[in-house]
Amino acid sequence: MPRPIKAIVDLSALRSNLALAKRAAPGARTLAVVKANAYGHGLLNAAHAFEDADGFAILEIENAVRLRDAGCRQPIVLLEGAFDSHDLRAAAEYQLACAIHDRDQVRLLQELPAAARLDLFVKLNTGMNRLGIAPRALPDVLDALRGEPRARSVTLMTHFACADDERGVEEQWGRFEAATRRFELPCTVANSAATLRYPQTHRDWIRPGIILYGASPFADVSAATLGLKPSMTLVSEIIGVQELAPGDAVGYGASFVAQRPMRIGIVACGYADGYPRHAPSGTPILVAGERTTTVGRVSMDMMCVDITAMPQAGRGSPVTLWGAGLSADEVAAAAGTISYELFCALAPRVPVIEQE
Ligand SMILES: *Cc1c(COP(=O)(O)O)cnc(C)c1O
């Protein structure tokens, strides 16, 4: 029997979340963001569930090529563009649209064979100060692209830093509008949070990621309230039981000490599976569908749960780390992180099983 941990990917939840994103932005097309192995869900599983997406956004050219080889005909956008001229040639060959976030990438484009044609997404820095061309440099870059036959189309893009919190998008959106209005080019701006909260930013293409995977982009609104369905459920089993007397400690560092007699279930899941090591004692977890809490430090391959109040629980009891019945957002918040990180950290050693 294999080790009992697995991530169950619910394809119908993925479809339902995509449909919700599309309903939120009825006038826009949808670039489904499938970077980081589709937020841990498995690139091809997700692409299959997202066949109604109008396009895909991803980082690595190898993975974009995997999508093409799997039969994906939609536009695929490389969100960081090409990293060198070799990449850019491959992008042209596989018809992958490329972000252009600096002038070096324009130069690489100009060095491509004359017959190459690429769709380009020119990324503006409107305040996140990560990647992107300064608004004042945009006219020059667009001039260069206008005279460049290899540039088949140009879409303007930016990315929000605070769309998910109370600061919102106003400042960045204002800068984007001011810099781009006169060019009348197609635009893509909205991530998940802006897709749900800021309809003015929908424009031509939305770029939802996290909502497609059933988690909330907002710290203060649950995924269930938004109508999202959990698409990844991480499950395992209790593989051992310990009876603790008051004063007995559990796990590395003896960080948890029982104050009363306790029954502890040992779960086959640890940080080497992607469960956050910094999740403290008290992080919610389900045993046989019932809520309880973790105790002690998460170790590499195991962690501990309190089953004192669950006399029927024992070796073989099913455990849900997050997903259906226990939102990843809640587990992430208890561990001081975000659902994005839980999903992306899912380790390669955890089998990912698709389910309808
Ligand atoms: C990751 C990413 C997104 C998706 O963000 P979510 O918050 O998951 O919706 C959109 N655009 C860009 C450029 C990204 O890197």
Write out the DSSP string of 115-175: T--EEEEEEB-SSS-SS-B-GGGHHHHHHHHHT-TTEEEEEEE---SSTTSTT-SHHHHHH
Q: What is the pLDDT of residue 1?
A: 86
CA distance 136 to 93: 32
For 104, the token pair is 């070096």
What spacing in Å lies between the alpha carbon of 23 and ligand 1's midpoint? 18
Residues with catalytic annotation?
35, 252
What b/e string do you get for 90-111 counting C-beta neighbours within 10 Å, with b at 16 or more?
bbbeeebbbbbbbeebbebbee
- Strands 303-306, 262-267: pairing is antiparallel
Closest atom of ligand 1 to 340 CA is 8
Q: What is the pLDDT of residue 5?
A: 98
3-state secondary structure of 174: helix
Residue with tokens 């195991």: 302
Residue of 33, 169, 203, 344 with the most ligand 1 atoms within 8 Å of its CB, for mutation: 33
- Strands 55-58, 29-33: pairing is parallel
Q: What is the pLDDT of residues 90-129, one digit of tens each?
A: 999 999 999 999 999 999 999 999 999 999 999 999 999 9
Q: What percent of the chain has pLDDT over 90?
A: 99
Residue with tokens 């029997």: 1
CA distance 184 to 204: 11
Residue of 197, 207, 212 with the most ligand 1 atoms within 8 Å of its CB, for mutation: 207
What spacing in Å lies between the alpha carbon of 83 and ligand 1's midpoint? 19
CA distances from 104 to 75, 82, 199 (A): 23, 10, 33
Closest atom of ligand 1 to 217 CA is 7
Atom 6 of ligand 1, nearest CA residue = 209
Q: What is the pLDDT of residues 247-305, one digit of tens each?
A: 999 999 999 999 999 999 999 999 999 999 999 999 999 999 999 999 999 999 999 99
What spacing in Å lies between the alpha carbon of 29 and ligand 1's midpoint? 15
For 209, the token pair is 């990621």
Atom 8 of ligand 1, nearest CA residue = 209
What spacing in Å lies between the alpha carbon of 32 and ligand 1's midpoint? 9
Low-confidence ranges of the chain (pLDDT < 50): none
CA 85 to centroid of chain Cα atoms: 28
Atom 4 of ligand 1, nearest CA residue = 209
Ligand 1: list residues with CB < 6 Å: 33, 35, 79, 159, 191-192, 207-210, 217
Closest atom of ligand 1 to 39 CA is 8
3-state secondary structure of 294: strand
What spacing in Å lies between the alpha carbon of 151 and ligand 1's midpoint? 24
pTM of the model: 0.97
What spacing in Å lies between the alpha carbon of 179 and ligand 1's midpoint? 21
Q: What is the pLDDT of residue 181?
A: 96
Closest atom of ligand 1 to 192 CA is 9
